[in-house]
Chain A
Amino acid sequence: MDNIYYPRQAKLKNIKEETPTIKTYQFKLDKKLKFKAGQFMQLTVPGVGEAPFTPSSAPGAVMEMDITIMKAGRVTDRLHEKVKKGDTLALRGPFGKGYPMGKFEGKEVLVVGGGVGLAPLRSLIYALFDKIEKVKKVHICYGAKSPLDQCFKDEYKKWENKKRVSVNLTIDKPHPDWKGNVGLVTCLLEKNSLSKMNVDIPNSYVVTCGPEVMLKFVTFKLLDVGFKPEQIYLSMNRRMSCGVGKCARCNIGPYYLCKDGPDMCYADIKDYPNVFG
């Protein structure tokens, strides 16, 4: 029998700095690991502890995996401050259900990210690109604090040049180096913005990831402009420990994000307490 709590070793091939507080860690695995877009890993910093992250690289059966991480707590502080290229960390997973890719076929997909929330969405974006002929359109909407806080900056051009894909960016406050949209990510979801992007609301799904407060206002904005709760998928945030539906802390209503999520359809969770904290 397998020990579900044992982390497998993973070598850190490279560390790429995305922003002053966000880094992408590129892992080389000792054997092939199969994961779906949206499933997450428990990353162990040896002797310090575990924290859950959704990979930011393309899903599939992989020997390498990117995980993009913001410095925010005990484990991630250690990652940012002490861990170097060539170090050996450990991984457990994948866990969770992943995005409902089947539902997106024949539909438009709005990918709405905020800050480091673009990380798991990047994995989804690659998965969508992989079967781009099966989806109608992919609209990527991304908000960051400033141009300096944008993740995966060097990839936007590449994404935009794809057929059926649009990239829409915004930053929170005016900045001398920025000529594009200014405002929170919800400003990209106003009725007129959506019609500029030619979004066919009844035939779309939205997948969104970001801080809890952003998820809240993105959801309310989407409902406001005519989306139904069934069309909205949220990458929810909860504290996790076991990753396998046992330690009982990552719940929303009867669902455990580690087993039933972490991406939840808003229709399924909207009536439970403290959905957005």
Chain B
Amino acid sequence: MNIYFLSESKLKDLMNLLFGYGRVFASKEAEVASNRNSESRIFIRELNKESLTDYRIPGFRAFDNFKSFVLPARSKIADYPSESWADIKETKKKRVLVGLKACDLASFAILDKVFLDDADFVDPFYKKRRESLILVSSDCTYSSDSCFCNLMGYSPYLDKGFDINLSEINGGYLIESGSDLGNKILEELSLPDAKENQILSRDKKRKKVIEKLQKGNSEFKKAFSRPDVLVSGTFDSDAGWDLGSTCVSCSACTNVCPVCYCFTLFDREGKKKEQYERYMVWDSCQFKGFSQMAGGMNPRFSHMDQFKNRYYHKFFRFYERYNIYKCTGCGRCIDNCLGDIDMREVLSGVYGSLKVK
């Protein structure tokens, strides 16, 4: 695959080209309270020609996630009985996502397993939304203390899964295509080929980020070698899970997680008489009501059952069903936890308790 060089001043040309395809949503350093560190100032915002002037692609993932572009927090999925389909207006044109990091790209591949690749039941709404996306990703140029993609088998960059990928280097970006559409866009830009020393500089940058990640996460490596085996070793005991005691079941972790997709359906009366609407809304396994049945029985009654379920789903159940872990190591759950719970420390605690046994 050809690698080209996009000078910093030409980023605008690329963005203008993307505007021609549809609305553009990009991760962007936003103006927020000054007490936030640089890693938590990046948010996903819609870009337009006016807001483009000082736009730079951040070198780190957004604080929020991109899953709402395929699974909105609330979306109508049926108007019954009259219409079997609910309209998805936003997919009539393409939507361009800019600044996705490797962890964001990986999250789409994980969600696809459930909503697209399940041959028995394809979610038609997910499919439409997913197909409407153009993915413009970029390498991480730095990592934070909560990042652990390396423990989940990912790295701060990917070589597939995007339409276009940008790698920041001195004076601009190296840019490459990962799809036919990406090829077409790059052709239109008619860019110079990347020079060898530029590619070397990109590889050096990538290596530096990986080394920092490895160093920061070295103490957790053992617990993450086979997390499926680890968590399934604690089915009959809560030993080692003590860190869960500060969980307040707020569901922040599942909401910011790019691959937590649990949802519920709810119905209500429509605007016309004898017409009804069905919605899909985000739900969270951290709520007691998530698995509470009519009559009051609840298989996940205790706080610890709910807390552990998130880990069981991510590292055991999903792995058993799809042969892939339901976690990209993005660390958003760590940044957002009210109880200061760090998933890496939880699994290490479990690892410690099993080893002691």
Query: Measuring CB to CB, which residues of chain A are less than 8 angstroms from any residue of chain B?
Result: 1-7, 9, 44, 46-51, 72-76, 88, 90, 211-212, 237-239, 241-242, 244-254, 259, 271-274, 277
Contacts and interface: CB of A to CB of B under 8 A. Distances in A.
Contact of A3 (B77, B268, B292, B300): B77
- Could you say which interface size class chain B belongs to? 35 or more
Contacts of A271: 235
A21 B170 CA distance: 74
Interface string B250-278: 00000000000111111111000010101
A259 B321 CA distance: 12
B236 interface: yes
A242 B126 CA distance: 14
B236 A273 contact: yes
A179 to B, nearest CB: 31
B299 interface: yes
A172 B263 CA distance: 39
A248 B321 contact: no
B265 A3 contact: no
Given A241-B264, A247-B262, A212 B297 contact: yes
Contacts of A259: 120
Interface stretch (B78-86, B91-99, B159-167): B78-86
Contacts of B356: none
B192 interface: no
A277 B115 contact: no
B305 interface: yes
Counting chain B CB atoms within 10 Å of each CB, the highest count among A3, A238, A244 belongs to A3
B305 A73 contact: no
Contacts of B123: 4, 246
B317 A90 contact: no
B81 A239 contact: no
A7 B84 CA distance: 8
Interface in B49-90: 77-78, 80-81, 84-86
9 contacts: A9-B80, A90-B81, A239-B291, A241-B263, A245-B121, A249-B290, A250-B291, A254-B320, A277-B298
B278 A5 contact: yes
B295 A246 contact: no
B246 to A, nearest CB: 22
Given A3-B77, A247-B262, A249-B290, A44 B267 contact: yes
Nearest to A7: B80
Most buried by A among B114, B121, B312: B121
A48 B269 CA distance: 8
Interface string B97-124: 0000000000000000011001011111
A241 B295 contact: no
Nearest to A249: B291
B120 A244 contact: yes
B290 A239 contact: yes
B280 interface: yes
B265 A5 contact: yes
A115 to B, nearest CB: 11
A277 B313 contact: no
The 10 closest A-B pairs by CB, nearest first: A73-B294, A254-B320, A244-B121, A72-B294, A6-B84, A47-B269, A5-B77, A248-B262, A274-B299, A273-B235
Nearest to B126: A246
Contacts of A44: 80, 267
B39 interface: no
B78 A6 contact: yes
Contacts of A2: 84, 124
Contact of B78 (A7, A253, A273): A7
A3 B267 contact: no
Contacts of B173: none
Given A2-B124, A241-B263, A249-B283, 10 more contacts: A6-B78, A7-B80, A7-B278, A47-B276, A49-B265, A51-B294, A72-B295, A238-B299, A247-B263, A248-B261
Given A238-B293, A271-B235, A47 B267 contact: yes
A1 B124 contact: yes
A249 B285 contact: yes
Most chain A C-beta atoms within 10 Å of own C-beta, residue among B77, B293, B308, B313: B293
A244 B265 CA distance: 12
A248 B285 contact: yes
A258 B96 CA distance: 35
Contacts of B300: 274
B291 A238 contact: yes
A253 B312 CA distance: 8
A246 B78 contact: no
Contacts of A46: 80-81, 267, 274, 276
A273 B235 CA distance: 5
A49 B281 CA distance: 13
Contact of B81 (A75, A88, A242, A254): A88
Contact of B85 (A3, A72, A73, A75): A3
Nearest to A244: B121
Nearest to B301: A277
B157 interface: no
B127 interface: yes
A211 B349 CA distance: 36
Given A46-B276, A238-B299, A253-B317, A247 B264 contact: yes
Nearest to A212: B297
B316 interface: yes
Nearest to A271: B235
Nearest to A246: B114
Contacts of A49: 265-267
A245 B121 CA distance: 8
Contacts of A273: 235-236, 305, 308, 312
A3 B78 contact: yes
Contacts of B264: 241, 247, 249
